[in-house]
Amino acid sequence: DPACVEPLPVLGRDVTVPLVTGGEVTYAALDYAASAPALQRVWDDVAAYAPYYGSVHRGAGYLSQLSTDLFEQSRVTVAEFLDCRPSDQVIFTRSTTDSLNLLAAVIPADCQVFVFETEHHASLLPWTNAQVTYLNAPRTPDEAVATLERALADRDPYGPALVCVTGASNVTGELWPVKELAAAAHAHGARIVLDAAQLAPHHPVSVQDLDVDWVAFSGHKLYAPFGSGVLAGRADWLQEADPYLAGGGASRKVTRRVSGEDAGGVDVEWHTTAARHEAGSPNVIGVYSIASACKALNEAGFENLVAREQHLIAKVREGLAEVPAVRVLSLFGDDAPRVGVISFVVDGWNSSHFAAALSAEYGIGVRDGLFCAHPLVRTLLGSEPQAQGECGAPEAAPGERSLNAIRVSFGAGTPDEHVERFVRAVK
């Protein structure tokens, strides 16, 4: 019985917030898709390590050696968590956005990029140096594969190409057919990067089984604190390109030119390991906490986490289905496999007001807006482009169709009471 699998202890589970109606209530964090609360276990690991904190790769002292060891062991833990190939490199970044921008900076100059319009902006926008083909929103997973195959069949088969795809949508929570898309990409000589920002916290990710070339994710969505992320995968493009960040740590040898035409300049030999793209003193706490979260999730067992999450998804979807004014947003339909991310609109309600009311009257934290996936949300809402701020949306005039949506999202730390309160509040 998945209900019997206990939620994992997370920070903030006892935090109370005031209600406009008077009194206070424990905060129901139902915005995991934006940032998940840190696991208590991660916090404890970080607290135990904190007194031993030292510079990484930059000190001869005992604590520097210890920190360097923990940093490098974290790389191994992440490689295991993602089931990487032995030759893959794990690069620590600031976030998924940073990871995908790093990859965009190292792709070959003549690379063609293929990306569905439904992607999060972090996957949609970094390819400014490439020739990008934007693929229309598919309405089934099979259509996604067929759309990609058609687009790839038309390309120059001898040039480099990259497909960028999400594993789980940050709007609908729907799983994308990553393995099939990877097979299609490879059949046409293209490579593929998986945006696992929303997938990795909810599902095991195997680079080898999915056969993706790279994977990116963020610590703060994987129950670790903010500030660290991962790009893992094939070394060749990464090591053939200039460093994403130039500086100390990325360079193996720097010498002043003493003769020749450009005497006085500087010659640099860059590292050919992950260090090439990790210039500057690294975020050792962030990296250590990602590794701690990977271990904690593996120990909890993804089969347990998935079973419990599916039980919560069923509760929310069944509850929302009982409210005729609610329309749940979906690309692939009701039966599509999904993670605990659900977006919806409510007839007669402005989504921002609705989300504000959930917070003020029930102590529930959700998100409203276009979720940094403007083209997708507009497709799902059937609305026209509007001028608006990044990730935000304008207010609908009274009686108008909502121009933005409400998103509820949850995961390993969510107790039943939070989703029950949410359903009650919506009703």
Please report, as ranges, the residues that interact with ligand PMP according to CB under 6 A.
33, 95-97, 120, 122-123, 166, 170, 195, 197-198, 218, 220, 372
Using the minimum distance from each CB to ligand PMP, give the nearer residue, 363 or 369. 369
In the block, which residue shows the tokens 């993670």? 339
Note if 372 is an active site residue.
yes
End-to-end alpha carbon distance in the chain: 26
Using the minimum distance from each CB to ligand PMP, give the nearer residue, 170 or 289. 170
Shortest distance, position 138 Cβ to ligand PMP, whole Å: 16
> Torsions phi, psi of 328, nearest 5?
-80, 135
Looking at 111, 164, 294, 372, which residue is catalytic?
372
C-alpha distances in Å from residue 229, one per residue of 58, 98, 219, 221, 401: 21, 8, 5, 10, 37
Using the minimum distance from each CB to ligand PMP, give the nearer residue, 367 or 421. 367
Return the closest-CA partner of residue 161 out of 111, 96, 234. 111
Shortest distance, position 169 Cβ to ligand PMP, whole Å: 7
Report the alpha-carbon distance of residue 349 to residue 267 in Å, rounded: 62
Report the alpha-carbon distance of residue 254 to residue 270 in Å, rounded: 9
Using the minimum distance from each CB to ligand PMP, give the nearer residue, 5 or 106. 106
In the block, which residue shows the tokens 């509040």? 425
Shortest distance, position 372 Cβ to ligand PMP, whole Å: 6
Using the minimum distance from each CB to ligand PMP, give the nearer residue, 41 or 120. 120
* Cα 226 from chain centre: 12
Shortest distance, position 264 Cβ to ligand PMP, whole Å: 40
Shortest distance, position 358 Cβ to ligand PMP, whole Å: 20
CA quadruple 178, 180, 184, 187: dihedral sign: positive
Distant-in-sequence, close-in-space partners of 51: CB < 8 Å, separation ≥ 6: none
Residue numbers annotated as active site: 372
